[in-house]
Amino acid sequence: MIVENLEQWQTNYDAWLARYQQSGELIYTDYPYVRNQTAPAGSGIDLAQSRLMLISTAGGFLRGAQEPFDAANDLGDYSIRLFPADTPFAAIAFAHEHYDHTAVTADPEVLLPLNHLADMTAEGKIGALAPSVISFCGYMPDMARIINEVIPPIMAIAQAEQVEGALLVPA
């Protein structure tokens, strides 16, 4: 379970969305943040023996090869982008309007620690790095859409690349 009481959350979200549609204003003091009582848990893994996938919410995409995220959309962009883990930083751009880009512009490793993960793999701290990085724009207010539209393709990619663990780097 990802969200406890999803039906109640959906009712509250629908009310928040109706207020937005009526006023045109995003009022986050009324937004129904998810408040689970129990943290999801699973079995641990030995990183040194596992394939790890990097997942970033920074809105990274391949400059000139992939469509940028619709970062200006008040209701979010629920699509994902996939690019090779060995992509040079010069080929990656960021489309996300909900964080200060100063740090990531100065050092993309802040939100895409690809070189650090490659070093950890070379040192034997990580068994292998998955060939793909999954990126999405972390501002997505509709939890039901995340559950139904974002998580299934991420899980399918992870299964196809035989991933045992993931590092989620939030923006």
- Reported as a single tens digit per residue, the pLDDT across 21-36 is 999 999 989 999 999 9
pLDDT above 60 (res 39): yes
pLDDT above 70 (res 1): no
pLDDT above 60 (res 139): yes
Average pLDDT, the chain: 92
Q: What is the pTM of this model?
A: 0.90
pLDDT above 80 (res 104): no
The string of pLDDT tens digits covering residues 117-128 is 999 999 999 999
Say which residue, 106 or 88, is predicted with more confidence.
88
Contacts 24+ apart (CB under 8 A), 70-73: 70/95, 70/137, 71/95, 71/96, 71/97, 71/98, 71/137, 71/139, 72/97
The string of pLDDT tens digits covering residues 48-100 is 999 999 999 999 999 999 999 999 999 999 999 999 999 999 999 988 777 77
Coil, strand or helix: which one is 35? coil
Residue 146 in tokens? 């995340």
